[in-house]
Structure 1
Amino acid sequence: MNIDHYKTGGHFDEMVSPEGEIRSHYEEFYKHLKKTSSRKMNHLQFSANQTQRSMGMTFNVYHDNQGLEKILHLDIIPRIIPNSEWEILESGLKQRTKAINYFLQDIYNEQQVLKDGIVPSDLIVKSRDFLEPCIGLTPPKGIWCHITGTDLVKNVDGQYYVLEDNLRCPSGVSYMLESREIIKRVYPDIFNQKGVKPVSDYPAKLLSMLQNLSDKPKPVVGVLTPGIYNSAYYEHSYLALQMGVELVNGVDLIVENNKVYMQTTKGLEQIDVLYRRIDDTFLDPLTFNPESMLGVPGIFEAYKAGNIALANAPGTGVADDKAVYAYVPKIIEYYLNEQPILNNVPTYLCREEEDRAYVLEHISELVVKETNAAGGYGMLIGPKSTAEEHEKFRNLVRNNPKNYIAQPTLSLSTVPTLADNTISGRHVDLRPYILYGKDIEVIPGALTRVALKEGSLVVNSSQGGGSKDTWVLY
């Protein structure tokens, strides 16, 4: 393909330096692109699309008139990360995960971080994600956040910034795993030559982490799904199959004598660990939302009695609230006595009068986010929005300031992407996955989400974004 006219557009491009030189970790792949015809690349992309469909790699979009199921478009040009860069990310993510776990244990028990004024008390105790039934609890092995998907972006300065922490039911890891299998077949020779770190052992590592939560020598593990209409059902079934464990929903489980059992054709079988993909408040209608048809009546009492382990632990959602996120650097310093390795994106808390005044005045320059929204919803991208939309969000912020934060509009790095029969830069973010078992482990790959529209900064799949395979080199 002719990529001599590839432009970075003034952003940090991960393949091409500002001086127009190909970065060393992309050199081999750049040469491969140059000698591969446009027709061949488009054929490979078509084949990748068909493979995704045949594998059932779909997700559900609830508010889409085009139909429920879509494939998460996989662009066949991988994102390549050198090992030196990854090692910094790995250290920073381990540090962040450790501190957040200390924070969760503290706020549900001694609440020393609140007493010391590091985090405002009302921000936590008045949060809808702070679960009073969890007060006084310590989860199995003292671990709250077993699976974390932390979103990062690289700005024009070439530095990574943490955009948010996903601690409730972080999704997307199945697309990372299946995308790797597809892209390995697209570039078998160059993949082996480059020396790419494997991600295929993630299901085995996930299972080991889950089994570690039980003291039984051979614990029974299951994946708890809301059902086939959930947007991430493909992932739930995929991970259960890869781990060789049961995929269950609420009606498959029953609680007797504070123990949880699966209903099987051979009778009841006790289950010891659940990787639950159901939000906290739907988990148990007797403890949380009484209208929930998805959960298991009595499961929280079984959890309190120590007869079942749940990953992630109920109550973790309060730590990935976008307002709490702003305090994570202070949380790291407080619990670990260390400076954060990875910086947050600068964040304005609309609950603070000075910050709110700045946001209202500069809303056209900022990204404004609802603190409890996800998937690109409840968000305003100031520079891309109209005056009417600016005024709408000003009113939302004025009426409920505690519900909003704002951040500067980051440039977001670009990565070469196959679009309209040519290769051009598209903005990306990065979601590495962290497992917290006996140790904290960052999987040496990630879900790279890409904004498929030129100039767009919205990478969420539910908003029309796609994905890339992420190659972390040795």
Structure 2
Amino acid sequence: MASRAATSLFDAATIADRWIADYCGHVPESDVLCAGGRDPAWTALFEELAALSGDGLAVARERAQRHAEDIGTGFRIVDEGEERPWPLSPVPLLIDKSEWDGIAAGISQRAQLLEAVLEDLYGEARLVAEGHVPASLVTGSPFFLRPLARLAPPGGHHLQFVAADLCRGPSGEWRVLADHLRAPAGAGYALENRLAMARTLGELPARLNIERHAPFFAAFREGLAAACRRAEPRIALLTPGRLNPSYAEQAHLARYLGFLLVEGADLAVLDDKLYVRTIAGLKRVDALWHRLDPRLLDPLALDSHSTIGVPGAVDAMAAGNVVVANAPGAGLLESPAFAAFLPRLAEVLTGRPLALPNIATWWCGQQAERDHVAANLDSLLVAPAFGVAPLGLPGGRAALGTALDSEARAALLDDMTRRPQDYVGQEVIRLSTMPAIADDALVPRPFMLRVFAARGADGGWTVLPGGFARIGEHPDPRAAVMGEGMWSADVCIHGPDPVPPISLLPSDDTTQLRRNPGTLPSRVADNLFWLGRYLERGEALLGLLRVLLGHSISADTGAALAADTVARLVRLIVASGAAPEPKGVKRADLTQLARTALEGEEDWYSVRAINCQARLIGAVSRERLSADMIRLLDAPFPQRGVLLDKAGSLQRRYSALNGLASEHMTRTDAWRFHDIGRRIERALGAIRFLRAFGGPDATSDDLSTLLDLMDSQISYRQRYLTGMARIPVLDLVTLDANNPRALAFQVAAISAHLNKLPVLSDDGLAEPQQEQARGIAALLVTTNATRMDDALLADLETRLIRLSKAIARRYFLQGAEPLRAAGMVLA
């Protein structure tokens, strides 16, 4: 009996009951877990957590975080170079479907209202003429884009995708804190949170009938496609680039939705149509989901200083040839100042009040409202009216009136008198709390909810069932204090009815089979080509260092290589820019040379520096590379052990990367460019090694070093039992087409790849890059090892460099020149 009682004390249900009882005993009644009595859904959630982690909540948090990192979820703080892992709480926010239906209806109503207001303000402007909206609120906003006035957006809608931040008050009511219309972010994080939570709490979705995300994203994709003119449109997601704070989310969304992930330089406008530059020429883009500040979208029509936009994009949009989501100028309604007018506009345009009210807002551009804010400063939050920092709010952050000292208060009121239109006053909101995990215990933390709505194929709005919650770091429930939040959490909508297993993927019987991997933008091909080159370059330099370390520095009985051979190794390392010329050839001098070439961080082109270049390319190629490959590229530089240990660790990493590329990348054009980059760099490295160690005066040590650097030592010894001989060594590493490290093997592989890549003409004649590769191959086929002298090697090196440039000129971005190249494909 005692044993059975002890067992039940620690089963999942008992642990969950204890967690909930302890938590509800010291939190406010407004907390979502404890409000209105215990919800069985929360009990089920904590039973799943207990089954996962036993009595230790920290285990659940670590597991959820690990799953988020495995998926590749990350974000970047502005002005930070390194990406941070996405902070995920293992405790999702649970909302009953009956409550959520009211939220979703309110969001749909709000999206319809925002669309109607934008249509009017960029159209006939009757709301201004009739006095419902002050003219200065529109024309004085930095988000009003005058070139878009009277421009009917293709597809007939300004908005395709919107987001809103919601807060739950102490009494359970939901209100809108902010709208996001310019480039709404976060849907990818909501998707990634759900994927991570499904791995962490695998039984919970079925147990609680949790609504799925896939139908929402399918509706959004179909809605964009329906707005396009062509039956099978090409849709692209325009990103500002890898330094954007949410680039990882954008890459994940593009991969999930099947959109091309493009940057401004990938796109071009020709004859009022938008194209993406690809390896097969220009390809038509029918819809563009952008994540730029809209003012940067087109430097010709909008901000002329933009270097990340697409010249002519607004012209293509005006001609009706590309759907832009959301239409530039939608951010006009994003400013806090407009929140003061939306309740009245809802009555005017829809005849109904807002189902989800705003927080109370007063725009100081009106006399009565300014006087109200000044008189009630201690009970309000003061914020920039248009997101631009006014003089009275240094840094541009909203400020609680009670938090201002006398000097700051005087400066604020003084500037509010001079430029009242720059300020809004807002009520101070107290947020509900939800459970989070800190120090292996449940603690109450305030939260905000970001929700998303997308226009479907029928023109109506679909609301994502959930979203993601941002959880505050501190217990203070005031929204102004919470900031951006410390953690995120999945938001699960649960109900009594089973949820069908819907996927974004179409069913087997409706899917048209295809083995064409789709469009490959030139920039992506360029990145993959150079990723291959950098990885091979780093491995070649590492090979030099391993030979130097293993045969001359680390030998217990003195140098194993002759001094002349060591000197040649040193010259190659110095010539690569990896380290400065050593003072001498003593062991200490060579050790310092190797250390700088391996891990030097400043001024030297070390292995570490080469790895950083490869890592940067990996960061902008997330949608094309596997998670394992990204993890290896992002792995920190080895810190433990002596130099030879670090070199060995790096060599294993290079081998793993090579293996992933060789065995896991589908044999598409993307893989071909990656492999071409590797082959060109390996061939150039082989020529440098041959010129250094394969000359007529080569010693046995030189030839043995050459075989080590070319990874051909075993092959030579199996083939020749009589010791080192120069001509057999040269034949093996240059002309043997069966040796995967030989020069001839690299050239043959390059030529085979180029023959399978797209060409621009239909005449069947070879393009320049194909001709050059065949010329190099013919030169190698028609020679023999006895004629392999320095002049021939120098000629081969020049030809390979010329070939690399020809490949770049044909396939990679070269400014505007390819737009009108003869034979360019326009499809």
TM range (shorter): over 0.9
1:200 deviates by 3.2
Q: CA–CA distance in 2 between the matches of 1:353 and 1:12?
A: 37
* Secondary structure in structure 1 of the residue aligned to 2:203: helix
Q: Which residue of 2 aligns with 1:470?
A: 491
Aligned residue identity for 1:379: A
| Structure 2 unpaired stretches of 5+ | 1-14, 390-394, 496-827
1:404-462: CA deviation from partner (whole Å, max 9, x where unpaired): 21212111111111112210111111111000232111111111111122226459998
Q: Choose which of 70, 73, 85 in structure 2 pairs with 1:57.
A: 73
Preserved CA contact (<8 Å) 1:221 1:271? yes
1:106-135: CA deviation from partner (whole Å, max 9, x where unpaired): 111111111111111221122221111111
Q: CA–CA distance in 1 between the matches of 2:410 and 2:66?
A: 44
Q: Choose which of 25, 33, 46 in structure 2 pairs with 1:15.
A: 33
Preserved CA contact (<8 Å) 1:332 1:338? yes
Aligned residue identity for 2:143: D
Preserved CA contact (<8 Å) 1:161 1:343? yes
* Secondary structure in structure 2 of the residue aligned to 1:467: strand
1:389 deviates by 4.8
Matched, 1:46 2:65: no
Q: Which residue of 2 aligns with 1:397?
A: 416
Q: Which residue of 2 aligns with 1:250?
A: 264
Preserved CA contact (<8 Å) 2:216 2:462? no
More helix by share: 2
Q: CA–CA distance in 1 between the matches of 2:319 and 2:271?
A: 10
Aligned residue identity for 1:15: L
Q: CA–CA distance in 1 between the matches of 2:415 and 2:29?
A: 32
Aligned residue identity for 2:186: G
Q: Which residue of 2 aligns with 1:414?
A: 433
Q: CA–CA distance in 2 between the matches of 1:409 and 1:11?
A: 20
Preserved CA contact (<8 Å) 1:254 1:296? yes
Q: How does 1:147-166 map to 2 (within 5 A)?
A: 147-166=161-180
Preserved CA contact (<8 Å) 1:15 1:23? yes
Q: Which residue of 2 aligns with 1:199?
A: 213
Q: CA–CA distance in 2 between the matches of 1:55 and 1:38?
A: 25
Q: Which residue of 2 aligns with 1:340?
A: 354
Does the C-alpha gap of structure 1 residues 460 and 79 become closer, same or farther in structure 2, counting only changes over 3 Å?
Answer: farther
Preserved CA contact (<8 Å) 2:451 2:468? yes
1:139 deviates by 1.1
Report which of the two structures shows the higher radius of gyration computed on alpha carbons: 2
Fraction of identical pairs, as percent? 28
Preserved CA contact (<8 Å) 2:472 2:483? no
Does the C-alpha gap of structure 1 residues 361 and 69 become closer, same or farther in structure 2, counting only changes over 3 Å?
Answer: farther
* Secondary structure in structure 2 of the residue aligned to 1:6: helix
* Secondary structure in structure 2 of the residue aligned to 1:452: coil
1:209-228: CA deviation from partner (whole Å, max 9, x where unpaired): 21111021101111111111
1:391 deviates by 4.6
* Secondary structure in structure 2 of the residue aligned to 1:148: strand
Matched, 1:324 2:338: yes
Q: CA–CA distance in 2 between the matches of 1:233 and 1:154?
A: 29
* Two-structure CA RMSD over aligned residues (Å): 2.5
Q: Choose which of 100, 103, 111 in structure 1 pairs with 2:125.
A: 111
Aligned residue identity for 2:23: Y
Aligned residue identity for 2:64: A
Does the C-alpha gap of structure 1 residues 16 and 218 become closer, same or farther in structure 2, counting only changes over 3 Å?
Answer: same
Aligned residue identity for 1:290: S
Aligned residue identity for 1:378: R
Which piece of structure 1 moves more, 375-384 or 271-280?
375-384
Does the C-alpha gap of structure 1 residues 345 and 24 become closer, same or farther in structure 2, counting only changes over 3 Å?
Answer: farther
Q: CA–CA distance in 2 between the matches of 1:68 and 1:348?
A: 39
Q: CA–CA distance in 1 between the matches of 2:416 and 2:41?
A: 44
Q: CA–CA distance in 1 between the matches of 2:396 and 2:208?
A: 38
1:46 deviates by 1.0
Q: How does 1:30-429 map to 2 (within 5 A)?
A: 30=46, 40-63=56-79, 68-373=82-387, 378-383=397-402, 389-429=408-448
Does the C-alpha gap of structure 1 residues 133 and 470 become closer, same or farther in structure 2, counting only changes over 3 Å?
Answer: same
Q: Choose which of 437, 455, 461 in structure 1 pairs with 2:476.
A: 455
Does the C-alpha gap of structure 1 residues 283 and 155 become closer, same or farther in structure 2, counting only changes over 3 Å?
Answer: same
Aligned residue identity for 2:60: L
Does the C-alpha gap of structure 1 residues 327 and 138 become closer, same or farther in structure 2, counting only changes over 3 Å?
Answer: same
1:246 deviates by 1.1
Q: CA–CA distance in 2 between the matches of 1:453 and 1:362?
A: 26
Q: CA–CA distance in 2 between the matches of 1:50 and 1:27?
A: 24
Does the C-alpha gap of structure 1 residues 152 and 265 become closer, same or farther in structure 2, counting only changes over 3 Å?
Answer: same
Does the C-alpha gap of structure 1 residues 335 and 70 become closer, same or farther in structure 2, counting only changes over 3 Å?
Answer: same
1:116-160: CA deviation from partner (whole Å, max 9, x where unpaired): 111112211222211111111111232111110011111122111
Matched, 1:430 2:430: no
| Structure 1 unpaired stretches of 5+ | none
Q: Higher relative CO (CA 8 A, sep ≥ 6), structure 1 or 2?
A: 1
Aligned residue identity for 1:53: E
Q: Choose which of 466, 476, 479 in structure 2 pairs with 1:445.
A: 466
1:25 deviates by 4.2
Preserved CA contact (<8 Å) 2:29 2:35? no
Q: CA–CA distance in 2 between the matches of 1:434 and 1:374?
A: 27
Aligned residue identity for 2:427: P
Q: CA–CA distance in 2 between the matches of 1:414 and 1:135?
A: 43
Q: CA–CA distance in 2 between the matches of 1:457 and 1:63?
A: 27
1:227-286: CA deviation from partner (whole Å, max 9, x where unpaired): 111111112211111122211111111111111111100111111110011111100111
1:103 deviates by 0.9
* Secondary structure in structure 2 of the residue aligned to 1:168: coil
Does the C-alpha gap of structure 1 residues 53 and 394 become closer, same or farther in structure 2, counting only changes over 3 Å?
Answer: farther
Does the C-alpha gap of structure 1 residues 43 and 9 become closer, same or farther in structure 2, counting only changes over 3 Å?
Answer: closer
Preserved CA contact (<8 Å) 2:433 2:477? no
1:168-215: CA deviation from partner (whole Å, max 9, x where unpaired): 101011111111111122222233111100013443333212111102
Preserved CA contact (<8 Å) 1:458 1:465? no
Q: CA–CA distance in 2 between the matches of 1:461 and 1:412?
A: 9
Q: CA–CA distance in 1 between the matches of 2:286 and 2:308?
A: 19
Aligned residue identity for 1:79: L
Q: CA–CA distance in 2 between the matches of 1:96 and 1:447?
A: 19
Preserved CA contact (<8 Å) 1:345 1:407? yes
| TM-score normalised by the chain length of structure 2 | 0.54
* Secondary structure in structure 1 of the residue aligned to 2:205: helix
Preserved CA contact (<8 Å) 1:72 1:461? no
Preserved CA contact (<8 Å) 2:428 2:479? no
1:96 deviates by 1.0
* Secondary structure in structure 1 of the residue aligned to 2:469: strand
Aligned residue identity for 1:402: Q
* Secondary structure in structure 2 of the residue aligned to 1:75: coil
Q: Which residue of 2 aligns with 1:5?
A: 22
Q: CA–CA distance in 2 between the matches of 1:398 and 1:426?
A: 38
More strand by share: 1
* Secondary structure in structure 2 of the residue aligned to 1:260: strand
Q: CA–CA distance in 2 between the matches of 1:327 and 1:462?
A: 25
Preserved CA contact (<8 Å) 1:155 1:413? yes
Does the C-alpha gap of structure 1 residues 41 and 444 become closer, same or farther in structure 2, counting only changes over 3 Å?
Answer: same
Q: CA–CA distance in 1 between the matches of 2:388 and 2:441?
A: 32
Q: CA–CA distance in 1 between the matches of 2:33 and 2:51?
A: 17
Aligned residue identity for 2:178: E
Preserved CA contact (<8 Å) 2:167 2:177? yes
Q: CA–CA distance in 1 between the matches of 2:278 and 2:65?
A: 37
Preserved CA contact (<8 Å) 1:14 1:23? no
Preserved CA contact (<8 Å) 1:367 1:409? yes
Q: CA–CA distance in 2 between the matches of 1:389 and 1:426?
A: 30
